[in-house]
Amino acid sequence: MTELRRIGKSDLSTVPLILGGNVFGWTADQATSFAVLDAFVAGGGTVIDTADVYSAWAPGHVGGESETVIGAWLKTRGRRDDVVITTKVGLLPIDGGKGLNPAHIAAAVEGSLRRLGTDYIDLYLAHRDDPDTDQDAVAQAFDALVSAGKVRVIGASNFTADRLESAVAAQDSKGLARYQALQNEYNLLSREAYEGAVQDYVVAQDIGMTPYYGLASGYLTGKYRSAADVKGARAGNVGKYVEGNGPRVLAVLDAVAAAHGASLAQVSLAWIAAQPGITAPIASATSVAQVEDLLGAISLRLTPEDLTALDTAGRVSVPV
């Protein structure tokens, strides 16, 4: 992670929380997004995560909404040198194409730079593996962006251990820019995309893991205690937890949170941060109060007994 630690003015190895930008321009309008970003930076946060595809899934949206809001905030506040911006490529179609085709990567980065209003991206990630594109070609395409100064560090997202290893091998074989970060799903209730082979590989290779869905789409905040609570923009993602071992995990979270005078969200993020290979978890907020609560995870230190109890509760299988 040597290169990863040099991006921007921040050292990712000391940043315990990354602000997720998927809500900007979607469930958080521009004014709310600006307030959240202001509160995050005021609280010591520096790393902001987004993607070109955010939030193309919303009615009337085409993608790029989050980057556009962040770009407007950067311009208005003049904070570009104070923050680390991470964004992703591969899921937003351009002229009918998507994935990690070199031509698509080259076109997509220009769109992200334009929307963000910047001439460089600190960390640029392949949003999803593309088995239809040769990994040597992908490696060359990302290296070209680094060589041109448009991207400082590259990473991957939603990769299996085998595909991450082969991608890094393709980069190393030609001395090209190397993946320094990984962004897979990981939280107390969703473990399979990281634990095991992926975790073993990133730890061995010193690749920083920055997991998304750290709060399981809000379930681990305690917002959804029963089926009757499952509503709202993210409701479709949390039903499986309500029906599975989610209540058991919430019960342990309740106990640990009470012992520390902390919120469930803070405990959930602190658990992630304590796991091997984790650089920092990602969490999003749609209000100043939420982001201030999330920042409280920075100073929370769980005991070995806390970690064991949470780990055990979260290992009960959840139906898919």
φ, ψ for residue 125 (rounded to 5)? -115, 145
Give the model confidence (pLDDT) of 10-25 as tens digits: 444 445 899 999 999 9
User: Rounded to an integer, what distance in angstroms lies between the CA atom of residue 63 and that of residue 55?
Assistant: 5
Q: Look at residue 209 in the predicted model and tell me its pLDDT.
A: 97
Give the model confidence (pLDDT) of 106-139 as tens digits: 999 999 999 999 999 999 999 999 999 999 999 9
Q: Look at residue 235 in the predicted model and tell me its pLDDT.
A: 62
Q: Is the pLDDT of residue 282 over 60?
A: yes
Please report the DSSP string for 212-225 in residue order: B-TTGGGGGGT---
Mean of per-residue pLDDT scores for the chain: 92
The structural domains of the chain, with segments of one domain joined by +, span 4-183
Calculate the CA 259 to chain-centre distance: 28
Q: Is the pLDDT of residue 320 over 70?
A: no
Calculate the CA 253 to chain-centre distance: 22
Q: Look at residue 1 in the predicted model and tell me its pLDDT.
A: 41
Query: Residues with Cβ < 8 Å from 228, sequence gap 6 or more?
Result: none
* Residue 24, SS3 per DSSP: strand
Q: Is 119 exposed, middle or buried (0-12, 13-18, 19+ CB in 10 A)?
A: exposed
User: Rounded to an integer, what distance in angstroms lies between the CA atom of residue 142 and that of residue 113?
Assistant: 15
Smallest CA-to-CA distance from 61 within 88, 108, 27 is with: 27
Q: Look at residue 238 in the predicted model and tell me its pLDDT.
A: 75
φ, ψ for residue 191 (rounded to 5)? -115, -25
Residue 296 vs residue 12, higher pLDDT = 296
Distance set, CA 279 to CA 5, 14, 135, 183 (Å)? 11, 8, 25, 10
With cut-offs at 50, 70 and 90, classify the pLDDT of residue 233: low
Give the model confidence (pLDDT) of 138-177 as tens digits: 999 999 999 999 999 999 999 999 999 999 999 999 999 9
Which DSSP category does 228 fall into? G
Report, in this order, helix, strand and coil percent for the chain, each rounded to 5: 45, 15, 40
The amino acid at residue 48 is I
Q: Is the pLDDT of residue 77 over 60?
A: yes
**Residue 125, strand partner residues:** 88, 155
**Residue 86, strand partner residues:** 49, 123
Which DSSP category does 209 fall into? E
| E-state strands within 14-82 | 18-20, 47-49
CATH of segment(s) 4-183: 3.20.20.100
